[in-house]
């Protein structure tokens, strides 16, 4: 239709103009939402299975006889469901990764409702206080160690076998992502507690790292034998910089507890080497190392570049650096939580988790070696 004809057309009523405007606005919103979902929420993998500790626990410990729980306010103050058992003010790294991979929020394995079709997008087995070693975190009570988490996955696998044939199941498992966050408790709730554990007297830091990695490798091979093929193994962060360690007062002002960071160094170096070995010895699989230490170090060294202003205090806690214990029930946390790297004595805020997730998903080889999660999903 030419401009001349448009000009000669009868002028529409104001009511019609308003209706047309609303229609175009609706179409614009629909297209925007559709494109946004396609960019960030498309289903890139069939499922994600999470193994780990309180950094990624979504409520498993709610169903255990454990002192390590976060199912009370102010945990979840910024989460749409409130206090679910996440050790955070809001979302964890796996919540953000689920969005990026197009995977719905994963159910906790220990939840009695986690069965049937609810498990088809994956399951979260992570347990606060759990570690690579069975004895780690024992003083908290019940928890799922890595060994138990692998056994729990086998139970899930039996349920999946009832829902799909063997060929479909094989493809499903091979395409699914395995995200593993382990090791921190084996230091914080074992090696660094000489009054309760003898490990620091028995092993040098290198020997202890080797012990952890040998146990870890055996369970990774077990998961591989069950059909899983895509593994992201995250390293341990700079534990000497968390408020809990700063609360000890053994560091110089403005510095982390250097000897603690040095202790975890052999574990991270060894885990990266283990990834190389596993890739060489397990054809058809991909193992990747997530450099959690490096990402956290970036945030701590230059917090303002990431939007943070407080790096050495927990947003919620008591004592020096708000780091002596985790949040007490009904405690009043800091107001501007997006400015804090740490939520409590041990765990990052939702804002920090978002950065960790983005780096794990699309970071360069210095963040994820040899590939990141986005690249892994495409394999």
Pairing of strands 286-290, 368-369: antiparallel
Pairwise CA distance, residues 56 & 93, whole Å:
7
Q: What is the CA radius of gyration of the chain?
A: 23
Name every residue whose Cβ is closer than 8 Å to that of residue 305 and which is 6 or more positions away in sequence.
none
Note the residue count of the chain: 379
Identify the CA nearest to 288 among candidates 357, 230, 237, 227: 230
Q: Are 286 and 379 in contact (CB under 8 A)?
A: yes
Query: Is 54 one of the catalytic residues?
Result: yes
Identify the CA nearest to 71 among candidates 85, 54, 82, 88: 85
Identify the CA nearest to 307 among candidates 272, 349, 269, 266: 349
Residue 160's H or E segment, with its range, is helix 146-161
DSSP state of 95: H
Q: Are 361 and 103 in contact (CB under 8 A)?
A: no
Query: Is 134 one of the catalytic residues?
Result: no
Distances (CA, A) of 144 to 100, 265, 341: 27, 25, 27
The residue ranges of DSSP E strands in the chain, in sequence order, are 48-52, 122-124, 177-181, 230-234, 286-290, 310-314, 340-342, 368-369
Q: Where are the alpha helices (DSSP H) in 41-125?
A: 93-101
Pairwise CA distance, residues 291 & 298, whole Å:
11
Phi, psi for 261 (deg, rounded to 5): -60, -35
Query: Is 347 one of the catalytic residues?
Result: yes
Pairing of strands 286-290, 230-234: parallel
Q: Which of 215, 251, 313, 347 is catalytic?
A: 347
Q: Which of 53, 54, 184, 215 is catalytic?
A: 54
Catalytic center residues: 54, 344, 347
């Amino acid at each position: 239709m030419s401009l001349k004809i448009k000009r000669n057309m009868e002028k529409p009523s104001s009511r019609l103009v308003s209706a047309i405007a609303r229609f175009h606005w609706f179409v614009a919103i629909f297209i925007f939402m559709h494109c946004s979902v396609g960019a960030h929420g498309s289903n890139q993998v069939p499922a994600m299975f999470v193994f780990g500790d309180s950094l990624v626990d979504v409520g498993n410990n709610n169903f255990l006889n454990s002192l390590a729980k976060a199912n009370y306010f102010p945990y979840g103050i910024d989460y749409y469901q409130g206090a679910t058992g996440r050790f955070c003010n809001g979302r964890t790294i796996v919540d953000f990764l689920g969005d990026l991979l197009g995977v719905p929020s994963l159910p906790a394995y220990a939840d009695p409702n986690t069965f049937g079709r609810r498990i088809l997008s994956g399951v979260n087995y992570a347990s606060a206080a759990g570690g690579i070693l069975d004895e780690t975190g024992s003083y908290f009570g019940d928890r799922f160690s890595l060994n138990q988490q692998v056994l729990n996955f086998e139970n899930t696998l039996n349920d999946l076998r009832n829902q799909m044939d063997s060929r479909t199941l094989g493809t499903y498992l091979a395409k699914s992502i395995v995200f593993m966050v382990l090791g921190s408790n084996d230091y914080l709730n074992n090696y660094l507690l000489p009054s309760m554990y003898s490990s620091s007297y028995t092993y040098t830091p290198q020997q202890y790292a080797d012990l952890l990695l040998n146990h870890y490798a055996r369970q990774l091979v077990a998961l591989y034998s069950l059909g899983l093929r895509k593994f992201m193994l995250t390293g341990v962060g700079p534990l000497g910089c968390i408020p809990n360690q700063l609360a000890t007062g053994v560091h110089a002002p403005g510095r982390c507890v250097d000897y603690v960071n040095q202790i975890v160094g052999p574990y991270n170096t060894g885990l990266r080497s283990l990834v190389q070995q596993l890739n060489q010895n397990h054809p058809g699989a991909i193992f990747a190392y997530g450099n959690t230490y490096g990402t956290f170090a970036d945030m701590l060294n230059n917090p303002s570049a990431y939007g943070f202003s407080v790096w050495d205090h927990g947003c919620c806690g008591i004592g020096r650096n708000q780091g002596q214990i985790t949040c007490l029930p009904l405690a009043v946390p800091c107001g501007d939580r997006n400015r804090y790297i740490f939520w409590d004595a041990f765990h990052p805020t939702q804002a920090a988790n978002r950065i960790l997730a983005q780096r794990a998903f699309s970071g360069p080889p210095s963040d994820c070696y040899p590939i990141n999660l986005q690249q892994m999903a495409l394999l």
